Amino acid sequence: MTDPFLVAGTPLSSRLFIGTAGYPNQQVLLDCLEASGAEVVTVSIRRISLEGYAESLVDVLGGRCRLLPNTAGCATVRDAVLTAELAREALDTQWVKLELIGDRETLYPDVEQLVRAADELVRSGFTVLPYCNEDPVTCQKLADVGCAAVMPLGSLIGSGMGIANPAAIELICSRSPVPVVLDAGIGTASDATLAMELGCEAVLVNTAIARSHDPRRMAAAMRAAVEGGRLARLAGRIPKRLFAEPSSPQLGLVGS
Amino acid sequence: MTRLRINGVEEEVDVTTVSELLAARGVDPAAKFLAVALNGAVVRRVEWRSTPLGPGDDVEIVRPFSGG
């Protein structure tokens, strides 16, 4: 059974995106990447240490995945756009996961600035995947300015709280003209499965794997969870009902 | 000596171009995955040798790191 997944016309081999932060060490990260089967892998762009050039994460990741640079931590359109432009130069990719943070404590997006930055970056030729609120109107605005996907949050970044508002995510998925990639909040495998069952095209997981007691095993779990959720979505769940319906035949019951 | 702002820190340096600045700071200009911005605009790698630096210039030197 073929189930192609495209972002901006590019076929992707996995519906699981992986973040690279917070792993116990680089080897665990590489093992998790392998176990997850992920193709799209996020990185940040940061000032170099002027103490000297050490081996970069990217040197190690090499050609094994598609790097998706983010603008994590940026709080203004200007900083986010410059970070995206630096990422394009450093990594030779047009793709950017746009983050524009409005509040340091919750890391909630600043929607007004996010839409403006997305618009500006799309006009400059970027393939923009914005981290955004779980709000259908915001997601529609981002699609309208030309974003290649939308990445609504399940719950707060790094919180592991899962999908706080499944109804909103389902609504976004049912109306979005571009792929919905659930970003942030995934705590365990069932959260990733739920995201896919609700209609998300993909999920991004970082902390739930990196900070797990056994990251390699959790990476494998996330892979299975995303595949299971996608299959269930395609198969279609049965309607919920309030009362029991016997699954065994009613005819020929002993004693009747 | 030229007074520059390098990755947010004011410094006096004896360089005249972006390439010279990188070399002076022990950063191999041939290293992959580097990017430089001057006063808020990216300077393409091919322009590092020819882009002059003057007093008060604001330089950002970045590379990819882990991130989510």
Predicted local confidence at residue A48, as pLDDT: 87
What CATH number is associated with residue B47? Answer: 3.10.20.30
ipTM of this predicted structure = 0.92
Tens digits of residue pLDDT in A226-241: 999 999 999 999 999 9
Please check the confidence at residue A36 and state whether its pLDDT lies above 90.
Answer: yes
**What residues form DSSP beta bridges with A66?**
A40
Look up the CATH superfamily of A6-235. Aldolase class I (3.20.20.70)
CA of A60 vs chain B CAs: smallest distance (Å): 11
Would you say residue B25 lies in a domain? yes
pTM of the model: 0.91
What's the structural domain count of chain B?
A: 1
Separation CA A96–CA A19 (nearest Å): 13
The band of A55, judged by pLDDT with boundaries at 50, 70 and 90, is low
Q: Do A50 and B25 touch (CB under 8 A)?
A: yes
Instruction: State the DSSP string of B2-61.
Output: EEEEETTEEEEE--SBHHHHHHHTT--TT-TT-EEEETTEEE-GGGTTT-B--TT-EEEE
Share of chain A above pLDDT 70, in %: 96
Predicted local confidence at residue A130, as pLDDT: 98
Predicted local confidence at residue A218, as pLDDT: 98
Give me the mean pLDDT over the A46-59 stretch. Answer: 70
Take residue A3 and report the two structure tokens written for it.
Answer: 């189930």
Its domain, for residue B8, covers 2-62
Would you say residue B68 lies in a domain? no
CA of B47 vs chain A CAs: smallest distance (Å): 12
Which residue in the list A15, A97, A141, A223 is annotated as catalytic? A97
Name the residue in chain B with its Cα closest to that of A47: B62
Predicted local confidence at residue A221, as pLDDT: 98
Please check the confidence at residue A60 and state whether its pLDDT lies above 90.
Answer: no
In terms of DSSP H, where are the helices of chain A? 26-36, 57-61, 77-91, 111-123, 136-144, 166-175, 189-197, 207-210, 215-235
Strand, helix or coil for residue A27: helix
Please check the confidence at residue A56 and state whether its pLDDT lies above 90.
Answer: no
Please check the confidence at residue A39 and state whether its pLDDT lies above 60.
Answer: yes
Is the Cβ of B60 closer than 8 Å to some Cβ of chain A? yes
The band of A50, judged by pLDDT with boundaries at 50, 70 and 90, is low
The band of A80, judged by pLDDT with boundaries at 50, 70 and 90, is very high
Separation CA A127–CA A255 (nearest Å): 68
Nearest Cβ partner for A207 among B25, B44, B68? B68
Separation CA A101–CA B56 (nearest Å): 29
Q: Shortest CA distance to A47 belongs to which of A96, A4, A83? A: A83
Tens digits of residue pLDDT in A206-216: 999 999 999 99
**What residues form DSSP beta bridges with B57?**
none
Tens digits of residue pLDDT in A133-148: 999 999 999 999 999 9
* Best of A26, A46, A48 to mutate (most B CBs within 10 Å, chain B): A48
Tens digits of residue pLDDT in B5-64: 999 999 999 999 999 999 888 888 788 899 999 999 999 999 999 999 999 999 999 999
Name the average pLDDT for chain A.
Answer: 94
Cβ neighbours around A28 below 10 Å, total: 16
Predicted local confidence at residue A64, as pLDDT: 79
